[in-house]
Structure 1
Amino acid sequence: MKSSVSQLTLFFSSWLILQLSFGAGQSYQNSLNNERFISSIEKRIALDIPKLTLANKKFKTAADPHSIKSYIDDVNASLRELKSPLQIVSLQGIQLSKSAPQHVITSILRTSDQEIILEMQLVESGWSSAVSFLAPILAFFIALIHYFSRKQKIAIATINVAKEPESPPLKLRIDLKNKSVNFGNNSEAVLLPNKPFCFYAALVDYCMHTQLPNLKHNNEVPDELLQMANKYFYRLIELGHTKRKRPDFGVNLDKTLSEIRSALDEAFKDNIELKELFYPPKAQGEGSRSKMHNYAILNRDPNRVEFIGK
């Protein structure tokens, strides 16, 4: 609907501009034609004056209205053949018609013994001469070209959008080289102690590769998860981060998870809406109910996690 209104607006505005331009050009051309024909008529009358029976006060001669009108008719007939915009209506006061002419142009011809007044009238050319029938056709083509140009731009934009590769998803980076986690491209790395770092790396790895992981406080930590945590700890030793005794990842689970959540709060401060995917859920409620909640993380997409130095 909006596109149709835009096309109609362009069509009518183009038509108006073209019509005004044509009118201005036509007016200028008519002015030039009028001047040319006035000069031509004056020359014709000036050459024919000796043959005309005009009144002359100096020589006290009277005019012959009948012959003057006949002469005017002959001249006007010639002007019509030339498609002149002017016709003679009066010569030296002798009018061709009794009706008062409109839009009269008066010219004075001077001879050695008198002044001859010549009156001419513009011929009504009708409204069609002021209207360009080409203007709406050109306006239609302008609107049509704009329409197809717009369609082409939209098609090209659609193709370009389709060609543009999707931006890669933001990743959680678990860096064993400096015992840190960070998320996205601009967030700062957050350092963790050995035990929570290794347990979180193992928790992320375990949840991504386990179908429906069931990690509850009232159950012991699965052996596979503990083995992964130990593997990451031994990797820290290989990287020269620690020489301490391997911690027991199965005890003080609440404290370990609390330290992990604190680090993640800092790592996801600029992407809070995505934190839930990588955040071990907190227990809801008290007592036995708190022991029933699952602290497994929700992310199952390996493309959203990057292990560095694994």
Structure 2
Amino acid sequence: MKSNINLLIYFLFSWLIFQFSYSAGRHYQNNLNKERFIASIEKRIALDIPKLTLANKKFKTAADPLSIKSYLNDVNATLTKLKSPLQIISLQGIQLKRFAEQDIIVKTLLTSEQEITLEMQLVESDRASTLSLIAPLLALIFTLFKYFSRRQKIASSAINHNKEPEKTSPKLTINLKNKSIVFGNDNEPVLLPNKPFCFYAALVDYCMQTDCPNLKHNNEVPEELLQMANKYFYRLIELGHTKRKRPDFGANLDKTLSEIRSALDEVFKNSVAFKESFYPPKAQGEGSRSKMHNYAILNKDASCVEFIGK
């Protein structure tokens, strides 16, 4: 109910604003038209004075009222056709008829022989012409626009309120600044020694960048993977974590992977469902470690991994 009253007030206020603007413009235009017609009438009378029989004290001549009135009626007829807001009511004291003493404009025309008085009167205009049909129409359009905008805003607000926030997938964070690994927000960060930490960071990075990585125990560790591990180790040195000699990341691979798996068991303690994607698989079955076992990381989505201090 309150909103409807506010809309009504908005409509009336808008109507008044548009109506005032229209009336002010109409008033300004009417004044321009009036001044234009006054100048035009004065010019017409000034040009016709030599042909008119007006009284002249200097030459002691009398006026011819009938011819003057006939002339004025002809001029007024022309003014009516031109939709003039003015009519001539008197010329040099010769009146067409009795007029109300209001809205009378008196002008004096100077000739070399005498002063001629010209009286004009504003024609009563239709008061309704000062009212605009456009004003309420514009006010209605603006009010409807405000109404539908508010309805759309309320509907959008309700949709956003009812919409469940999108759940972001937890990330595996490898933080070189403190040599820790953590997954999501439900697990505690786990610290690793230099060698397993650097090798695991390189392993995750290498497997995301390599299509179908073939990392088997019976093969040498790929040179690219070793270079990545060395790069992470040198980064730890830059961060001030160690000054020790660079370890041989290709030696004692089983021990390194065992340390990594042990740490990841703690990392994914509360998120076991995600563990497989980031966990170097263990060997399954007799002899599989040397022939079939691939310890590559399954995760390929870079958005699921965040490196800090890389």
> TM-score by structure 2 length?
0.52
For 2:100 and 2:11, locate their aligned partners in 1 and report how far apart those are by CA, in whole Å.
44
Q: One-letter code of the match for 2:57? A: K
1:67 match: 67
Q: Could you say what secondary structure the match of 1:119 adopts?
A: strand
For this pair of structures, how many residues does the alignment match? 167
Tell me if structure 2 keeps the 8 A contact 1:101–1:121.
no
Q: Could you say what secondary structure the match of 1:57 adopts?
A: coil
CA pair 164-55 structure 1, distance change in 2 beyond 3 A: farther
CA pair 69-129 structure 1, distance change in 2 beyond 3 A: same
- Say yes or no: does 1:19 pair with 2:3: no
For 1:34 and 1:10, locate their aligned partners in 2 and report how far apart those are by CA, in whole Å.
36
CA pair 60-164 structure 1, distance change in 2 beyond 3 A: farther
CA pair 38-129 structure 1, distance change in 2 beyond 3 A: same
Q: Could you say what secondary structure the match of 2:118 adopts?
A: strand
Q: One-letter code of the match for 1:72? A: L
2:36 match: 36
Q: One-letter code of the match for 1:30? A: N
1:79 match: 79
2:6 match: 6
Q: Could you say what secondary structure the match of 1:97 adopts?
A: coil
Deviation at 1:101, TM superposition (A): 4.0
For 2:102 and 2:68, locate their aligned partners in 1 and report how far apart those are by CA, in whole Å.
21
For 1:111 and 1:102, locate their aligned partners in 2 and report how far apart those are by CA, in whole Å.
28
2:106 match: 106
Q: One-letter code of the match for 1:59? A: F
Deviation at 1:36, TM superposition (A): 0.3
For 1:100 and 1:93, locate their aligned partners in 2 and report how far apart those are by CA, in whole Å.
16
For 1:99 and 1:35, locate their aligned partners in 2 and report how far apart those are by CA, in whole Å.
21
Q: Could you say what secondary structure the match of 1:69 adopts?
A: helix
Deviation at 1:166, TM superposition (A): 10
Deviation at 1:3, TM superposition (A): 1.3
Q: Could you say what secondary structure the match of 2:107 adopts?
A: strand
* TM-superposition CA deviations, 1:63-105 (whole Å, max 9, x none): 1111111111000000000000000011011111024442101
Q: One-letter code of the match for 1:44? A: R
For 1:100 and 1:161, locate their aligned partners in 2 and report how far apart those are by CA, in whole Å.
71
> TM-score by structure 1 length?
0.52
2:132 match: 132
Residues 286-301 of structure 1: matches in 2 within 5 Å? Answer: none
Residues 144-155 of structure 1: matches in 2 within 5 Å? Answer: 144-155=144-155
Identity fraction in percent = 66
Tell me if structure 2 keeps the 8 A contact 1:89–1:101.
no
Deviation at 1:165, TM superposition (A): 3.2
Deviation at 1:24, TM superposition (A): 0.6
Deviation at 1:161, TM superposition (A): 1.4
CA pair 30-104 structure 1, distance change in 2 beyond 3 A: same
For 1:101 and 1:70, locate their aligned partners in 2 and report how far apart those are by CA, in whole Å.
23
Deviation at 1:138, TM superposition (A): 0.9
Q: One-letter code of the match for 2:46? A: A
Q: Could you say what secondary structure the match of 1:124 adopts?
A: coil
For 2:100 and 2:157, locate their aligned partners in 1 and report how far apart those are by CA, in whole Å.
68
1:57 match: 57
Q: Could you say what secondary structure the match of 1:6 adopts?
A: helix
* TM-superposition CA deviations, 1:113-164 (whole Å, max 9, x none): 1111111000111211111111111111111111001111111111221225
For 2:104 and 2:28, locate their aligned partners in 1 and report how far apart those are by CA, in whole Å.
19
Q: Could you say what secondary structure the match of 1:117 adopts?
A: strand
Q: Could you say what secondary structure the match of 2:106 adopts?
A: strand
For 1:79 and 1:98, locate their aligned partners in 2 and report how far apart those are by CA, in whole Å.
19
Q: Could you say what secondary structure the match of 1:50 adopts?
A: helix
For 2:99 and 2:24, locate their aligned partners in 1 and report how far apart those are by CA, in whole Å.
32
Q: One-letter code of the match for 2:30? A: N
2:121 match: 121
RMSD: 1.5
For 2:156 and 2:24, locate their aligned partners in 1 and report how far apart those are by CA, in whole Å.
40
Q: Could you say what secondary structure the match of 2:57 adopts?
A: coil
For 2:121 and 2:34, locate their aligned partners in 1 and report how far apart those are by CA, in whole Å.
10
For 1:129 and 1:32, locate their aligned partners in 2 and report how far apart those are by CA, in whole Å.
17
Runs of 5+ unmatched residues, structure 1: 168-310
